[in-house]
Structure 1
Amino acid sequence: MEIVIVQHKDEAAKIAADIVESYVREGKTLGLATGSTPLGTYQELIRRHREQDLSFRDCQAFLLDEYVGLPRSHEQTYYQTIRREFTSHIDIDDAQVHSPDGTAEHPGEAARAYDRSIGDAGGVDIQILGIGSDGHIGFNEPTSSLQSRTRIKTLHPDTVRDNARFFDDDESKVPHHVMTQGIGTIGEARHLLLLAFGENKAEAIAAMVEGPVSAMCPASALQMHEHVTVIVDTAAASGLKHTQYYNYALENKPTWQAF
């Protein structure tokens, strides 16, 4: 893992955008996450599209997950969220922004079909990720199989409680089932880019980077990936014990080796 520790979210967004831009300019396939964590990166990429002619027209994108049962017109679907926050502001063809079909009559079959569609497209080149305070990535909660594929998951009550803020603080309105890429699916992306900010993520980041590989911290599976970049602020990095090594390794990286 490449561990990049920064002082502020703005700095993280610029570094992350630099990494993503290198793939965009080659027309590569993007893996997109929703939530508050990647918003700064998306805003920076939008700025570069508008001010620096960064074009996404040759790219396609796949989303990590989707609620089961919400119509696509619902403002809290990830189908709508990624368009509202990112893709409608750039020049990617809307038909090239793919997401799981949470309205399918047979969700399990739809999940498997979505998993196959990623492979049929040649796989994801750069996957943006966040991490939950319990170490989940996508909606792969603790105890998820580290080889899991895109499937239906039941949300943990804590996750339902956390997501209630998007549903008028009413837990009864939060769908309890989601369709999510599995850890095995996520791990097939060629480059994983994980962002985390705030002290509430410190324990999860420490477990992911320095703890054992365990289903109790699904993100720890990233230790086995060949190319992971983790960008965290100092608060999220506060639980790490070996920051001196991470900074040294990054600063002394061969100049020919890009992120």
Structure 2
Amino acid sequence: MRLIIRKDYDAVSDHMANYIKNRILEFNPTLDKPFVLGLPTGSSPVGVYKNFVKYYQNGELSFKNVVTFNMDEYVGLPRDHPESYHSFMWHNLFKFIDILPKNVHILDGNAENLEEECKNFEEKMKSYGGVELFLGGIGPDGHIAFNEPGSSLASRTRAKTLAYDTILANSRFFDNNINKVPRMALTVGVGTVMDAREVAVIITGAHKAPALAKCIEEGVNHMWTVSAIQLHPNALIVCDEDATLELHVKTVKYFKSIELVIDDLVGAENVGLQGNVKRYPTPEVTPTREAFYNLPFKK
């Protein structure tokens, strides 16, 4: 697992957006071989989506050969409701970029047969050869998508009854009226997310510090479903300084030191996007331990 620590939400968003942009460019998607990208909703990815729009407008990135699958959708909420995840994605990203509407896949919370809708969603992902990268955010209780505490770590896309705390938290989007909040949602499962060839998670804010600590420093636990990424061979977390408040100091220093080694000793040009060492250089001078730890940490 890779943990990248940045100063604040904007810096986290910039880093994650730039990383995904470079992953897409490196993949060099075509009509016959699209880049399949899993996407979340909520406050966490908004900054990333703003950067995606900027990249497209500046001519840095095209989404014509990108296929997307969204994590979740409310059950029973009209598709054009301002709080539906269809509306969220179109108003925050899709209508500003050149993605083809046929390449956008969002679960239909108004489908006549919800079980069949979830099954078809899984099959559609498989038809593209699986998801290349799944981007996610988490809740303060460590849930990813709508896989709340207690969800099976092997779960697949399904209809899910929402916990009371989730309904209460989401009431802020529904005029603070809990009676307007849907009671159910369709969501990809933890197992669905883990099937992606890469999982990248954004974690920001002091209120999510306990979840990050559980994910990084403790074992895999279905009560903190994001912790499942410990078992993924290619997992990336980008967090801000506030989210590290519950981590041990030595944990924070360890992950920051990894970046220092790459940037100042190995050389970023010798390391692939996903952290794989392409070539190990022979430095002319090896810094002393004291000199190494005096190198400035990234801000």
TM-score, reference length from structure 1? 0.97
Aligned residues: 259
**Does the residue aligned with 1:163 lie in a helix, a strand or coil?**
helix
Q: Which of 195, 199, 207 matches 2:206? A: 199
Q: Which of 36, 39, 45 matches 1:38? A: 45
What one-letter code is carried by the residue in structure 1 that aligns with 2:75?
V
Contact map agreement 1:123 1:189 (CA 8 A) in 2: yes
Cα deviation code 1:82-133 (max 9, x no counterpart): 1110111110011211011111111112111111111112111111100111
**Does the residue aligned with 1:248 lie in a helix, a strand or coil?**
helix
- The aligned residue for residue 80 of structure 1 is 87
Q: Spell out the pairing of 1:127-146 with structure 2 (5 A cutoff).
A: 127-146=134-153
Of 47-56 and 224-233, the range deviating more from structure 2: 47-56
CA distance in 2, matches of 1:42, 1:209: 26
CA distance in 2, matches of 1:180, 1:202: 24
CA distance in 2, matches of 1:116, 1:211: 33
Stretches of structure 1 that go unaligned for 5 or more consecutive residues are none
Contact map agreement 2:159 2:184 (CA 8 A) in 1: yes
Pairwise CA RMSD: 1.1
Note if 1:12 corresponds to 2:19: no
- The aligned residue for residue 115 of structure 1 is 122
What one-letter code is carried by the residue in structure 2 that aligns with 1:64?
M
- The aligned residue for residue 3 of structure 2 is 3
Deviation at 1:251?
Answer: 2.5
What one-letter code is carried by the residue in structure 1 that aligns with 2:272?
Q
Stretches of structure 2 that go unaligned for 5 or more consecutive residues are 30-34, 275-299
State the 4+ residue runs in structure 1 displaced beyond 4 angstroms. Answer: none
TM-score, reference length from structure 2? 0.84
Q: Which of 246, 261, 285 matches 1:252? A: 261
- The aligned residue for residue 219 of structure 1 is 226
Deviation at 1:250?
Answer: 2.7
Of 186-195 and 50-59, the range deviating more from structure 2: 50-59
**Does the residue aligned with 2:202 lie in a helix, a strand or coil?**
strand
- Structure possessing the higher radius of gyration over alpha carbons: 2
Identity %: 36
What one-letter code is carried by the residue in structure 2 that aligns with 1:245?
Y
